[in-house]
Amino acid sequence: MEQKKLTVLDIKTRKGSDKKISMLTAYDYPWALLVDQAGIDIILVGDSLGMVVLGYKDTVSVTMNEMIHHVKAVTGVVKRSVVVGDMPFGSYNVSTEKAVENANRFMKEGKADCVKLEGGKSMVPVAAAIVKAGIPLQGHIGLTPQTASALGGFKVQGKSADAARTLIEDARALEDAGCFSLVLEAIPAPIAKMVTEAISIPTIGIGAGADCDGQVLVTHDMVGLFDRFTPKFVKQYVKISDTISSAIAEFKADVESGSFPEDQHSFTMKPEELRKMNGEL
């Protein structure tokens, strides 16, 4: 059946609807296909790519070229989900001009539907310029992994009344700048509820409780394919690495014992050609 492609407007108008917005990451063809076919509303080609696929120690070293390479792999297969290109550290925090230029690359080269950047009020001039350039933008506040060292590590944000007020101001400022939705990461559930009620664009939570308009997880965390750590907010639905490891071990044993390949995996040829080869004809 032909799938109708969702747009950022479809996402924006889901604010307050009974059906919450689902969002997962994907970084390549097979995962994008699975996530899209499952009917997930938004696919984030996140800079978490650096950690869960490229094996970097953090997301800071991810480059624009790496992001574009993976966004292309995803947009080439997706039929329905909205695809978000995650702007990596250094691609939007240098100058507004550079930010718009890089956001354009996500759209022109990557064929993304929109982009995402991290940061609150200080990012408003950049956010407004990207939106003014006609590029739909998703904000990301709370724990912003790219600036985790400035935040004192991967810590829950907005835990004091002052910090929570700042989060609400950040959310309002990003909405005013034209963001179509906001990711809220690692903030207390009651504060995420307040942020969600304070703005008219959808909030998508990750470690932000049940009252957001949607939820996002890193797919590799959710399916048990990232072994370095699992944050408290992750629900691991399956540990697919165990299944993959036993398949690999079985293959190794089959190869070493000679029980793979079998006839069904091998090619034949015309018997007379073989007889010629054997010098019988």
User: Which residues are marked as active site?
Assistant: 185
- Which residues, other chains included, contact 76 with Cβ-Cβ below 8 Å and sequence gap of 6+? 29, 111
> Whole-number minimum distance, CB 150 to ligand KIV, in Å?
16
> Whole-number minimum distance, CB 74 to ligand KIV, in Å?
13
> Whole-number minimum distance, CB 111 to ligand KIV, in Å?
19
* Residue closer to ligand KIV (CB basis): 145 or 178: 145
How many whole angstroms separate alpha carbon 74 and alpha carbon 47?
14
* Residue closer to ligand KIV (CB basis): 44 or 64: 44
**56, 35 in Cβ contact below 8 A?**
no
**36, 27 in Cβ contact below 8 A?**
no
Which residues are bridge partners to 183 per DSSP? 140, 204
Rg of the chain (C-alpha set): 23
The neighbour count for residue 42, using CB atoms within 10 Å, is: 27
CA distances 193 to 34, 185, 197, Å, are: 31, 13, 6
The neighbour count for residue 119, using CB atoms within 10 Å, is: 19
* Residue closer to ligand KIV (CB basis): 77 or 144: 144
* Residue closer to ligand KIV (CB basis): 38 or 259: 38
* Residue closer to ligand KIV (CB basis): 48 or 196: 48
**181, 138 in Cβ contact below 8 A?**
yes
> Whole-number minimum distance, CB 16 to ligand KIV, in Å?
21
Tell me the backbone φ, ψ of residue 32, rounded to 5 degrees: -65, -40
> Whole-number minimum distance, CB 214 to ligand KIV, in Å?
11
Please report, as ranges, the residues that interact with ligand KIV according to CB under 6 A. Answer: 25, 44, 46-48, 86, 140, 183, 206, 216, 218
Residue with the shortest CB distance to ligand KIV:
46
* Residue closer to ligand KIV (CB basis): 105 or 140: 140
- Which residues, other chains included, contact 172 with Cβ-Cβ below 8 Å and sequence gap of 6+? 198, 199
> Whole-number minimum distance, CB 32 to ligand KIV, in Å?
14
Long-range CB pairs of 49-53, under 8 A, 24+ apart, other chains included: 49/25, 49/86, 50/88, 51/226, 51/228, 52/25, 52/27, 52/218, 52/220, 52/221, 52/225, 52/226, 53/27, 53/28, 53/220
